[in-house]
């Protein structure tokens, strides 16, 4: 934690006077600039976190699909972005979001695990480290760089018992037969739970807090389903209309949820580990 507060950081990074501050948490504040513009100041979770998030927001923005807040500046500790005036989700906004998300994924990435341009190899998903090592084969890459590292850490932390790890390892071994048809790397938000979708006053859904990288598009959609999303049926229906998913995608949701569930097991403990193990058992029985 730095002794510098959000107002001082915003003034320094933007070069503009600050007229107000509203603390939302220990690491997030809404700051008002002279002239009335509001920005968000976020304190990074660890080395490279701010750089990774800023690069991710810019990469997602370059696709010109789902709107993201403009990055106004950052340093090693603070990220300053535009504030999104809040609105309410509705079915029409959800359908537009589904269509735009399909276009975002179609913008592509150089490889599975590719970091956004200017982003670090060692990034974060939430407060958990996430390494953006690249690969050309999704099942092998997903096992090596997304499933097994978090399984090992969960075992080391005691969230997953040593005797339980084998069920996840079996799924990792079977990924080539479970993964469905091969697809090119998609441009992923990477941490697409419902809390990272802001429903704006302009009627659009906005994306915040990415862990952006090249990945499988079904992973973003599976995470969106994991913790619930307003008007999810409309989101998925519009996505399917714009970019139909491969046959059997609904049966693979748990497979793609294994990664975020293991991340949550590492961050939050046994409850999420039990969910991850249940998903792995269902996948291995399929």
Domain boundaries, the chain: 84-286
**Residue 165 confidence (pLDDT):** 96
The pLDDT of residue 152 is above 60: yes
pLDDT mean across residues, the chain: 95
**Residue 283 confidence (pLDDT):** 87
The pLDDT of residue 5 is above 70: yes
Tens-digit pLDDT profile for residues 212-224: 999 999 999 999 9
Based on the residue annotation, tell me whether 191 is a catalytic residue of this protein: yes
High-pLDDT (> 70) share of the chain, %: 99
**Residue 286 confidence (pLDDT):** 65
Ordered alpha helix ranges (H), 63-145 = 91-106, 138-142
**Residue 38 confidence (pLDDT):** 95
Tens-digit pLDDT profile for residues 23-70: 999 899 999 999 899 999 999 987 789 999 999 999 999 999 999 999
**Residue 1 confidence (pLDDT):** 41
Residue 75's pLDDT band (cuts 50, 70, 90): very high
Identified catalytic residue from 137, 191, 204, 251: 191
Sign of the Cα torsion 237, 96, 261, 119 reads positive
Give the residue-averaged pLDDT of 136-155. Answer: 97
Angle at 241 between CA 235 and CA 243, to 5 degrees: 95
Q: What is the longest distance spanned by two Cα atoms in the chain?
A: 60
Name the token pair of 256. Answer: 């793609």
Q: Does domain 84-286 fall into CATH 3.90.1200.10?
A: yes
């Amino acid at each position: 934690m730095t002794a510098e507060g959000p107002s001082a950081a915003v003034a320094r990074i933007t070069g503009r006077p600050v007229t107000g501050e509203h603390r939302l948490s220990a690491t997030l504040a809404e700051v008002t600039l002279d002239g009335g513009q509001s920005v968000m100041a976020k304190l990074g979770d660890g080395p490279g976190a701010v750089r990774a998030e800023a690069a991710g927001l810019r990469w997602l923005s370059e696709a010109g699909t789902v709107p993201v807040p403009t990055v106004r500046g950052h340093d090693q500790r603070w990220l300053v972005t535009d504030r999104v005036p809040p609105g309410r989700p509705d079915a029409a906004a959800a359908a537009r979001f589904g269509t735009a998300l399909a276009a975002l994924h179609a913008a592509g990435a150089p490889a599975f695990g590719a970091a956004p341009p200017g982003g670090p190899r060692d990034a974060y998903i939430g407060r958990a480290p996430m390494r953006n090592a690249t690969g050309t084969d999704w099942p092998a890459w997903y096992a090596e760089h997304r499933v097994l590292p978090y399984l090992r850490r969960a075992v080391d932390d005691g969230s997953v018992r040593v005797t339980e790890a084998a069920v996840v390892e079996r799924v990792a071994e079977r990924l080539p037969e479970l993964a469905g048809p091969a697809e090119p790397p998609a441009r992923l938000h990477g941490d697409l739970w419902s809390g990272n979708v802001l429903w704006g006053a302009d009627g659009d859904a906005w994306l915040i807090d990415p862990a952006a990288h090249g990945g499988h598009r079904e992973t973003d959609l599976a995470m969106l389903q994991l913790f619930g999303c307003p008007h999810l049926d409309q989101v998925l229906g519009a996505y399917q209309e714009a970019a139909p998913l491969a046959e059997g995608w609904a049966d693979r949701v748990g497979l793609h949820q294994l990664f975020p569930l293991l991340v949550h097991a590492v961050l939050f403990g046994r409850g999420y580990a039990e969910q991850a193990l249940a998903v792995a058992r269902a996948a291995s029985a399929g």
